[in-house]
Structure 1
Amino acid sequence: MTTLAEHVEDYLRLRRALGFTLGGYDDPLASFAAYIEAAGTGTVTAELAEAWAWLPVGIKPITASYRIGWVRGFARYLHAIDPAHEIPPPGLLSVPRRRPAPYLYSHEQVQDVLARARQLQPPLRAATYETLFGLLATTGMRVGEALALTRHDVALVDGILTIRHAKFNRMRLVPLHPSTTDALRRYALVRDHLCRDPRTDRFFHIGGVVERRDAEHVFLTITTQLGLRTAIVHPRIHDLRHTFAVRTLTDWQRDGSDVHAMLPVLSTYLGHIEPKNTNWYLSATPELMQLAAERLEQHFGGRL
């Protein structure tokens, strides 16, 4: 008779064979199997799954929600083998996801950030952060994706970036505007002149690897110095990505383009796994809502 622990191994092996990256699932599901067997049964029930999801005592509801989600997928697998295993119902321990409204940088604010980065010392650090922040603003890339770029990932002749380890370990190509490609070429020349023997093959470096926490700290310092960060307003480096997405949608809206038809293009460019992550910008941005209302009013001749 196959034990739950053995079923966990089979389940994870199957998921990986289907292309899923499940590095963080091994320990939780092994713990769940041990919990079920310690309860004196080899059968999964929704009640036991919920009790395990709340362990250890005092965890946050969002953590319990994640844990029950891990169990739900495993329980579906078990149920297909033996219907005696219960699948925790959808919505059990679910926590509403409330995404904060993005901080949208104006063109002038982005230029101010780049100008302040240009003043950093030493010169290689200044060139690296100015170009990094500029790339994030003009492509909407995630900061981790940009910092992970190697020299081979940046095609300065074709103007295309290869993102090899995006979110969920996916790969995508990011075509660049000619002006962005020119900026990367200038940076590469300065970088190689200032550091002829780097300790890394990363495209962005300061002799060694630029850590994400360091980039975020520099950005936080600059936005604070510029007065953009206050006790109430907390702009983040990730908001450069939000700004790019919103500005792109706004430009399409103003040009009269079919925004919903173009959304998959933006979704692919940004590396979104689910289209709903891109759709979110349509309702999260007052400016876009206003433009949509104006287009409706024009379409119906003011009869709204």
Structure 2
Amino acid sequence: MSELHCALAEYLNLRRSLGYKLRRSEKLLQQFIDFFLATGAPAITTQHALTWACQPEDGCNNWWAYRLSAVRGFTNYLHATDPTVEVPPPDLLPWRPHRAIPYLYRDEEIIALIKAAGALSSPLRVATYQSLIGLLAVTGMRVGEAINLDLHDFDARNGTLIIRNAKFNKMREIPLHPTTVASLKRYLARRNRMANAEETSALFISPSGSRLLYCNVQWTFQRAVRQAGLVSRTTHCRPRIHDMRHAFAVNTMLEAYRDGSNTQQRLTLLSTYLGHVSPASTYWYLSAAPELLAKAAERLEHLHGEQT
């Protein structure tokens, strides 16, 4: 292992002790170190960082900026003890904020996705992905949170799930509807019949008995999307698995408007349930829903009418 690889391990340990996960950054920085070592240069320069970051050539500016930001953090760490290491300036590849428009799933589309998962290659994959899609739809969990669940995180007696090591290393307990508890119990009965089921503590497993991989979940979900006949609504609004979370948030707030609940109180509870740092982080999930904005306008108009 080279000195740079050792330095990377120390850098990652330091950042992770502060609460950062850096899974993607670790992979990228390993690639950058291999690229730099292949040049035979004596020290990392800004040009090395820029040349590596602007790959692939047909990549988008934000992806290049992300790659460069990963290198910037590492070179800044190296520069503290080795002044010959150059740190790329932050404005070299400016980040252009862009967010996809959430695809807000309708109930019938969720059902279609679950049915589409029934066409997967093995009974366990069918059970796993039908349960996973259903759980994401009714809890708004992040995909990574769901595939990181262990068996002991599910409390069937009390009807709860514990989310551990979530974003910002937060942990939370979420209550489940009785039908969700029953569905998970049925899945576990199917899971535990696998010969290699005891080899992993993961709640959701693959036919090989291992924990699900994020990339495989993404690929399988997109296959279900095609099988279910779901299509993009616009070039910037296509069905993504993360949009299950958006749909859950919007539906939760719509219910609050429909039943006359205190929407501010519901928003605070929703923010906690989703694992957001504050309600402000939840507003983005709600801003792209015309029906929700219409309900808010109706209530505001009603309140204004009562006051005049």
Judge same fold: TM > 0.5, yes or no: yes
2:204 aligns to what?
204
Cα gap change, 1:272 to 1:53, in 2 (>3 Å) = farther
Cα gap change, 1:93 to 1:297, in 2 (>3 Å) = farther
Query: After the TM superposition, which residues 77-92 of structure 1 pair with which residues of structure 2 at under 5 Å, given as runs?
Result: none
Cα gap change, 1:258 to 1:91, in 2 (>3 Å) = farther
Q: Deviations over 1:138-185 (max 9, x none)?
A: 101111211111111111222111222222333222221111011111
Cα gap change, 1:120 to 1:275, in 2 (>3 Å) = same
Matching residue's letter, 2:128: T
User: Are 1:123 and 2:98 an aligned pair?
Assistant: no
Question: Aligned with 1:99: secondary structure?
Answer: coil
User: Are 1:149 and 2:149 an aligned pair?
Assistant: yes
1:223 aligns to what?
225
User: 1:255 Cα deviation (Å)?
Assistant: 2.2
User: 1:243 Cα deviation (Å)?
Assistant: 0.8
User: 1:285 Cα deviation (Å)?
Assistant: 1.2
1:235 aligns to what?
239
* Preserved CA contact (<8 Å) 1:128 1:205: yes
User: Are 1:132 and 2:93 an aligned pair?
Assistant: no
User: 1:91 Cα deviation (Å)?
Assistant: 9.1
User: 1:293 Cα deviation (Å)?
Assistant: 1.0
Aligned partners of 2:103 and 2:18: how far apart in 1? 38
User: 1:260 Cα deviation (Å)?
Assistant: 2.8
* Preserved CA contact (<8 Å) 1:54 1:64: no
User: Are 1:178 and 2:178 an aligned pair?
Assistant: yes
Query: After the TM superposition, which residues 28-177 of structure 1 pair with which residues of structure 2 at under 5 Å, given as runs?
Result: 61-62=61-62, 95-177=95-177
* Preserved CA contact (<8 Å) 2:256 2:263: yes
- Mark the structure with the bigger radius of gyration: 1
* Preserved CA contact (<8 Å) 1:224 1:230: no
* Preserved CA contact (<8 Å) 2:50 2:68: yes
Aligned partners of 2:198 and 2:123: how far apart in 1? 17
Cα gap change, 1:53 to 1:271, in 2 (>3 Å) = farther
* Preserved CA contact (<8 Å) 1:164 1:171: yes
Aligned partners of 1:53 and 1:302: how far apart in 2? 61
| TM-score, with length taken from structure 2 | 0.71
137-146 or 118-127: bigger deviation: 118-127
Aligned partners of 1:55 and 1:197: how far apart in 2? 42
Matching residue's letter, 1:219: F
Unaligned runs of 5+ in 1: 1-8, 31-47, 75-88
The number of equivalent residue pairs is: 293
Aligned partners of 1:124 and 1:93: how far apart in 2? 45
User: 1:11 Cα deviation (Å)?
Assistant: 10
Matching residue's letter, 1:238: H
Question: Aligned with 2:282: secondary structure?
Answer: helix
1:195 aligns to what?
194
Question: Aligned with 2:305: secondary structure?
Answer: coil
The structure 1 segments of at least 4 consecutive aligned residues displaced by more than 4 Å after TM superposition are 9-27, 52-61, 63-74, 89-94, 230-233
1:83 aligns to what?
none
Matching residue's letter, 1:186: R
User: 1:20 Cα deviation (Å)?
Assistant: 5.2
Matching residue's letter, 2:302: Q
Matching residue's letter, 2:303: H
Aligned partners of 1:190 and 1:175: how far apart in 2? 23
User: 1:116 Cα deviation (Å)?
Assistant: 2.5
Q: Deviations over 1:157-214 (max 9, x none)?
A: 221112222223332222211110111111111222x413326421111332222222
Percent of residue pairs identical? 43
Matching residue's letter, 1:103: Y
Corresponding residue to 1:252 among 250, 256, 261: 256
User: 1:13 Cα deviation (Å)?
Assistant: 8.5
